[in-house]
Structure 1
Amino acid sequence: MRADLINQNVLHHIGYEVLQETFALIRNVFSYSNEDEYSVTYIREIADALHNIPHSIQKQHDKFLEFEFKLLEETLMQMDFGKVAAQNIPYFRMYAARVQQLLQKRYKEV
């Protein structure tokens, strides 16, 4: 039972950090311009992939939280960051790397 609680806390912590990283990405991308169609589309796809994370954490729906993490991973893998405006490329790359790093914690700390 204790391992389940630790695993649950790890998942919730990862969820909060993913949300924090997502808000930073949105702020950075939109501080330049929201006229970059690919950036806007990618932000929308990321938001669609993770919009239920707060509810899943609050209701402790860990299986659904795992599903959302996998959906976010798949969404990021399908994106071609070379299509976004040049000034936004580093933000998307840093975001993808950081999210991948966070999601790997699921396996290391279980």
Structure 2
Amino acid sequence: MKYRKMGKTGDEVSVLGFGCMRFPQKSGRIDLARTERQILMAIERGVNYFDTALIYHGGRSESILGDILAKGYRDKVRIATKLPPFAVHSTKDMDNILNTQLRKLRTDHVDYYLL
């Protein structure tokens, strides 16, 4: 896998990222076993950038990714997620949304937060 350094941080991110907007489905539902296999296969092959968002898969994407990464993979990846601007009406909303995302992702931080 090739990696690129991010700005002044020196963080090395794989040139190929894993988008979590379209997990595999079976009979109209997310196929959790297949999703986990795909994510772990990507990590094993050096992918370390995972892009998700609060609204992907009806709000389930972050939780699914968080559950998989909590099995000992969190320190191997960089998580990018997004602040949904349509849901922000105050700074308190921003804090609440971020805290919800951290809980769903089962982590104490996100590496890239897109505004």
Higher relative contact order (CA 8 A, sep 6+): 1
Q: Which of the two has greater helix per residue?
A: 1
Q: TM-score, normalised by structure 2?
A: 0.27
Q: TM-score, normalised by structure 1?
A: 0.28
